[in-house]
């Protein structure tokens, strides 16, 4: 197995809007977008900042956030003030921990829960200590969340811990409290284990020895549930399968059930045994083209090639009332009539944002590479641009060094720059593909 690169520092230095990262092309700011949600006016504010202080582009991340690059001329105080005025910096103390994932076409209930969780998170002083990599999720996503709330049968939500189902179920009005309790439990367990496993503090729940089980027990206690009930819940039922309507796909796609992971009951030994992961949820495809939302309206999804958004495409999207950034480095314009959706699809395609699922950019992502990153060994974006072709197989991620920034959490093809060229492997089994890079990538993507 590939060795995971050692941490260069035990200090969590995830960039934010206030804590800028010193990249090779200048300071970088990362603006968190809970649920990937933003408005047209907010996008206008971001575009204005990129034009005034940066390289004129917005960079979309694998967690559906936005980055401003090359901020050599930016006054940090002015940057913060303008982001705050746009509603993009609601808390200076919690700005790097507002990491909340949600489905790109989340319904009104999940959108409201995302907003409520963001507000409650920012209002909880202790949770400012969360690492910048710690991720919440509400609803089914393709991201590897530390704690998540997944809708299941009977209008309940399953609370998952690093992908493990401990049997905890809450109603919709208990989701925010449960996720906050889980985050506090993570911090408490991390403090309890300090110095026992590693000199570096855990940034993710799965890094704690038996972390999911122990944090689940702590969470149950805070919620007033006896330890004996943890693991006693029924398996999560899959929601009804989606169907095509008027020739358009309906989002989200059907999910596989979440399997029950049982705890040893109270009085039967260690109440925090090692858990095994719940089955992986069926991955949702990137929303591309015109899709139905399920509420009578439709949306248009477009990919942003290699996550770089600027020019006419940026100006066009800023005219939308509401937008969603996706983990596939794309954008969705939701809540449209069918006729409005057709107009948006034509305009987006004309502006260079593909709305055809067979575009060569489908499933193709890359890290920043040269010249933006000093650690990169290649201009991976340029090489991906000159090499990529459409494939209905695995996604492919181009990276400039072994750190693998922005890599997908699921199976994918890894194209890693090395001193002697690109190494093409299929993840997670690390099967190697050799020869011409383009042919090797094409072969690795086939499944």
Q: What is the pLDDT of residue 87?
A: 98
- Residue 182 pLDDT class (50, 70, 90 cuts): very high
Share of the chain above pLDDT 90, in %: 78
Q: What is the pLDDT of residue 280?
A: 45
Residues 322, 324, 330, 333, Cα dihedral to 10°: -30
Average pLDDT over residues 419-438: 96
Average pLDDT over residues 430-445: 96
More confident residue, 235 or 393: 393
Answer whether the bond into residue 428 is a cis peptide, omega within 30°.
Answer: yes
To the question of domain 21-85 being in CATH 3.30.70.3340, the answer is yes
The phi, psi pair for 236, rounded to 5°, reads -70, 135
- Residue 242 pLDDT class (50, 70, 90 cuts): very low
More confident residue, 116 or 250: 116
- Number of Cβ atoms within 10 Å of the Cβ of 294: 14
Average pLDDT over residues 156-180: 95
Q: What is the pLDDT of residue 110?
A: 96
**Which residues make beta-bridge pairs with 397?**
365, 414
Reported as a single tens digit per residue, the pLDDT across 64-95 is: 999 999 999 899 999 999 999 999 999 999 99
Query: CB–CB of 184/176 below 8 Å?
Result: no
Lowest mean pLDDT among 25-34, 155-164, 274-283, 382-391: 274-283
Q: Is 21 exposed, middle or buried (0-12, 13-18, 19+ CB in 10 A)?
A: middle
Lowest mean pLDDT among 13-22, 134-143, 268-277, 318-327: 268-277
d(CA 108, CA 149): 15
- Residue 158 pLDDT class (50, 70, 90 cuts): very high
- Residue 243 pLDDT class (50, 70, 90 cuts): very low
pLDDT above 50 (res 264): no
Domain 91-141+143-282 fold is: Sulfite Reductase Hemoprotein; domain 1 (3.30.413)
Where along the chain do its domains lie? 21-85, 91-141+143-282, 289-350, 364-445
Lowest mean pLDDT among 274-278, 304-308, 405-409: 274-278
Average pLDDT over residues 169-188: 97
Q: What is the pLDDT of residue 196?
A: 55
Q: What is the pLDDT of residue 131?
A: 97
- Residue 13 pLDDT class (50, 70, 90 cuts): confident
Q: Is residue 328 left, alpha or beta, with left meaning phi > 0 and alpha meaning psi from -120 to 50?
A: alpha
Could you tell me which of 33, 40, 38, 32 has the C-alpha nearest to residue 15? 32
Answer whether the bond into residue 285 is a cis peptide, omega within 30°.
Answer: no
pLDDT above 50 (res 4): no
pLDDT above 50 (res 270): no
Average pLDDT over residues 14-29: 93
Angle at 293 between CA 38 and CA 44, to 5 degrees: 20
Tokens 């990153």 appear where? 373
pLDDT above 60 (res 163): yes
d(CA 289, CA 51): 29
Average pLDDT over residues 332-342: 97
- Residue 201 pLDDT class (50, 70, 90 cuts): confident
For the chain, the average pLDDT equals 86
Which are the contacts of 75, defined by CB distance < 8 A and separation ≥ 6?
none
């Amino acid at each position: 197995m590939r060795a995971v690169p050692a941490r260069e520092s035990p200090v969590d230095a995830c960039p934010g809007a206030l804590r800028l990262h010193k990249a090779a092309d200048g300071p970088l700011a990362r603006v968190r977008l809970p649920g990937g949600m933003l408005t047209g006016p907010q996008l206008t504010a971001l575009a204005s900042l990129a034009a005034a202080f940066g390289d004129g582009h917005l960079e979309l991340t694998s967690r559906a956030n936005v980055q401003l690059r090359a901020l050599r001329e930016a006054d940090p105080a002015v940057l913060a003030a303008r982001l705050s005025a746009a509603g993009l910096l609601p808390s200076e103390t919690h700005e790097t921990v507002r990491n909340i994932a949600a489905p790109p076409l989340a319904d009104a209930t999940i959108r409201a829960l995302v907003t409520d969780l963001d507000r409650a998170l920012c209002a909880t002083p202790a949770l400012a200590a969360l690492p910048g990599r710690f991720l919440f999720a509400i609803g089914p996503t393709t991201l590897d969340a530390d704690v998540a709330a997944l809708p299941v049968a009977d209008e309940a939500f399953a609370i998952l811990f690093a992908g493990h189902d401990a049997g905890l179920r809450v109603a919709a009005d208990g989701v925010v409290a449960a996720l906050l309790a889980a985050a506090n439990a993570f911090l408490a367990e991390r403090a309890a284990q300090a110095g026992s496993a590693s000199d570096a503090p855990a940034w993710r729940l799965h890094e704690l020895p038996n972390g999911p089980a122990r944090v689940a027990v702590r969470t149950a206690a805070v919620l007033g549930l006896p330890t004996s009930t943890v693991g006693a819940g029924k398996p999560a039922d899959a929601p009804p399968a989606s169907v095509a309507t008027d020739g358009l796909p309906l989002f989200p796609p059907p999910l596989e059930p979440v399997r029950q992971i049982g705890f040893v009951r109270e009085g039967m030994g260690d109440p925090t045994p090692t858990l095994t992961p719940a089955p992986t949820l069926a991955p949702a495809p990137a929303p591309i083209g015109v899709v139905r939302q399920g509420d009578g309206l439709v949306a248009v999804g477009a990919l942003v090639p290699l996550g770089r958004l600027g020019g006419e495409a940026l100006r066009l999207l800023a005219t939308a009332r509401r937008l969603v950034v996706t983990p596939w480095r794309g954008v969705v314009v939701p809540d449209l009539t069918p006729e409005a959706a057709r107009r948006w699809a034509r305009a987006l395609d004309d502006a260079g944002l593909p709305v055809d699922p067979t575009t060569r950019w489908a499933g193709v992502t890359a890290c920043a590479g040269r010249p933006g990153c000093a650690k990169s060994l290649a201009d991976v974006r340029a090489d991906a641009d000159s090499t990529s072709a459409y494939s209905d197989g695995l996604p492919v991620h181009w990276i400039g060094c072994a750190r693998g920034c922005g890599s997908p959490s699921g199976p994918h093809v890894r194209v890693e720059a090395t001193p002697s060229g690109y190494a093409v492997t299929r993840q997670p089994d690390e099967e190697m593909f050799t020869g011409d890079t383009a042919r090797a990538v094409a072969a690795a993507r086939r499944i």
